[in-house]
Chain A
Amino acid sequence: MSTTVDQDTIRVIIPKDHMTAELLIPADFPRDTLTEQTCLNLLQQSGVEITEQVTEAVKQMLATPPETGQEQQQVLATATPAQHGDHGYVQWLVSEPDQTKEPQTGQDGQKEKQKEDADNGEEVSHYDRSAYIVVKPGDVVGRVIEPTAGADGRDVLGKTIAAIPGRPIFIKNDETILRDGADQLIAQADGVLNRTPDSVAVCQLIEVPDYVDFSTGNIDFTGSVVVRKGVRDCFVVKATGSVEVRGLIEAATIECGGSLTAQGGMAGRERGFAKVGGNLTAKYLDNIQAEVRGDMEIWREVINCDLLIHGEIKSPQGTVIGGKTVITGPAEVAALGSGAFVATEIILGTVPHLEPIAQQLERLIEQLATKREKIEYEQKLMGKKKPSMMTNTDKERQTELMFEHQTASTKHNEGQAAHAAVIERIQQLRTVNLKINNKLFTGVTITVGKQSFVMNKDLKGPVRILVENREVVYCRDGALPTPLTTVAELKAAPAK
């Protein structure tokens, strides 16, 4: 266990790790024969490295004898332990998502929009608290710190105690993360930072394993989002790509540049909102407001929704009950309206994103034409003056009028050309082709252009509503078209 050297029972004790060296002087040892040199010789014989500290410690030991009849044992040499190196690691330079605070749940289980005072006195919205670290190209997300070598130690015998150097960190990165010469980790793409102990990447898809709720906060993401469960009330999911929600979307807001798939449907309770850059596919829609740039496919029903569809409705099994549906392209549904005469309106063949532009251009063209007429009138009045009677001011005004006339004419012509192009595009996009497979119910309003038709009879499907020779007709397979006015009351469409 220890190295011991006796000289007339004085012992040097050195443990196996050589971290200390002690001197034990028995109680009955004649201290008057004991000198500093004797002690040092003893230590040296035991292999202890004699340093200034050791010599000093011996002096102190001899100067402070114990009470008579007691032995004396004292540490005279202490080793310097090795300082092992630190392992390499990644110093993350991103704000970590705050997952520490869980807001209270209301009595009815409904999570209320909560704001609480933060430490700095500002209000914090738990809805805006994100569970994800969203990065963009160029963001320095972290820095790889190299391991350190450590420092060797020295035992009491003067031997080196070798330090163990730290191990470098091996972190894998794909093309979404660049490791530059300064060992910085730099994001190369928009997305969510995905970290494991040995890898880092920017992921362009957020996959929410549960609900979008207070555990995730609102999501605003450059990329696509998949939600394995649902989206809770009042939460917002924004994505430049597509959004897929496998559970129910409650009274939430979904905005996406790509398509929206709502496998569990969307129950908006008049507060749900969706803005979809691509297609919308859903089990059902209930009391929501939505704008869809592409097509819409509903598997079951659309109830009391306010919809603006720039493409087609492809819902051969779906029923539209209540609300207002504005559609640019053709539509196919199982049924329209209900036997309970629920006010249901469908507006066909409108091009909502271009029609306001056409109207704006029409107003502009009219204003320019009026302006031009006024200029021409003033020019005519000036033309009546004899040239010799014209003052310098008159001549300058004439120049001004000529310039204004030319400017107005140029703008007028440009406006007319733009208007013609917009109208042509509207005509290309506008389609009046509504197919009802099962039933078109009494009370449904079908609006085409400036005419609204309120159904005063049920119409059994399959039946199509079309425009033929500028007349809105319905048509069954193999039958001749019949004016819709035979089954509907014609009214002027409300002004836009």
Chain B
Amino acid sequence: MKVLLVDDSKTMRNIQKGILTQLGYTDIEEACDGLDALSKVGAFQPDLLLVDWNMPNMDGLTFVKQFRAKGSKAPIIMVTTEAEKSRVVEAIKAGVNNYVVKPFTPDSLSQRIKETLDRTAAA
């Protein structure tokens, strides 16, 4: 399975990469903002995306909207510090499948990834 990590923090990407590797997912691509991610999705064709909200150049929400506008149905987990309910609703409306609020434990992110993939597979 191919996973795209979109976060401006290299440390956060490394953490997420470590968790995904522990789960057995090793085909991972990284992008440092929404624009970078948009330039990579065409060739990489991810099966799962982990996207931060606040990023320079293009934020996560704009990226999700543009990604969905292209017709892609790959599940997206928003991994962000934005915890307000209104923000969560906004993200869900834009096409996000699941939501993880920072700070998170490795276990909680693992659980969300599994949960999201199970749900997508069942759909």
Q: Which residues of A contact B (CB under 8 A)?
A: 392, 395-400, 402-403, 406-407
B104 & A402 in contact (Cβ 8 Å cutoff): yes
A395 & B81 in contact (Cβ 8 Å cutoff): yes
Inter-chain contacts of B56 with A (CB < 8 A): none
What does the 1/0 interface line of B75-109 toward A look like (CB < 8 Å)? 00000010000000000000000000011111100
Inter-chain contacts of A403 with B (CB < 8 A): 15, 18-19, 106
The 3 closest A-B pairs by CB, nearest first: A398-B103, A395-B102, A399-B103
A406 & B54 in contact (Cβ 8 Å cutoff): no
A396 & B105 in contact (Cβ 8 Å cutoff): no
What CA separation (Å) do A291 and B39 show in the bound complex? 60
Max chain A C-beta neighbours (<10 A), residue from B9, B19, B54, B81: B81
What CA separation (Å) do A400 and B105 show in the bound complex? 9
Taking the closest CB of chain B, its distance from the CB of A107, in whole angstroms, is: 67
Inter-chain contacts of A400 with B (CB < 8 A): 11-12, 15
A403-B18, A407-B18 known; A396+B9 contact, CB < 8 A: yes
Q: Which residues of B contact A (CB under 8 A)?
A: 9, 11-12, 15, 18-19, 54, 81, 102-107
A392-B81, A403-B15, A407-B18 known; A398+B106 contact, CB < 8 A: no
10 pairs of residues in contact across A and B, judged by CB atoms under 8 Å: A392-B102, A396-B9, A396-B102, A398-B102, A398-B103, A399-B12, A399-B15, A403-B19, A403-B106, A406-B106
What CA separation (Å) do A403 and B18 show in the bound complex? 9
Taking the closest CB of chain B, its distance from the CB of A127, in whole angstroms, is: 49
Other 13 A-B pairs with CB < 8 A, given A392-B102, A395-B102: A392-B54, A392-B81, A395-B81, A396-B81, A396-B102, A399-B102, A400-B11, A400-B12, A400-B15, A402-B103, A403-B18, A403-B106, A406-B106
Inter-chain contacts of B103 with A (CB < 8 A): 395-399, 402
A403-B18, A407-B18 known; A396+B106 contact, CB < 8 A: no
What CA separation (Å) do A105 and B102 show in the bound complex? 79
Inter-chain contacts of B104 with A (CB < 8 A): 399, 402
What CA separation (Å) do A396 and B104 show in the bound complex? 9
Taking the closest CB of chain B, its distance from the CB of A478, in whole angstroms, is: 63
Taking the closest CB of chain B, its distance from the CB of A371, in whole angstroms, is: 16
B12 & A406 in contact (Cβ 8 Å cutoff): no
What CA separation (Å) do A428 and B105 show in the bound complex? 41
Inter-chain contacts of A392 with B (CB < 8 A): 54, 81, 102
What CA separation (Å) do A399 and B81 show in the bound complex? 10
Inter-chain contacts of A402 with B (CB < 8 A): 103-106
Max chain A C-beta neighbours (<10 A), residue from B19, B54, B104: B104
What CA separation (Å) do A397 and B104 show in the bound complex? 10
What CA separation (Å) do A406 and B107 show in the bound complex? 9
The closest CB in chain A to the CB of B103 belongs to A398
Max chain A C-beta neighbours (<10 A), residue from B18, B102, B107: B102
Inter-chain contacts of B9 with A (CB < 8 A): 396
B18 & A396 in contact (Cβ 8 Å cutoff): no
Max chain A C-beta neighbours (<10 A), residue from B9, B104, B106: B106
What CA separation (Å) do A407 and B12 show in the bound complex? 15
The closest CB in chain A to the CB of B19 belongs to A403
Inter-chain contacts of A399 with B (CB < 8 A): 12, 15, 102-104
Taking the closest CB of chain A, its distance from the CB of B26, in whole angstroms, is: 17
What CA separation (Å) do A402 and B105 show in the bound complex? 6
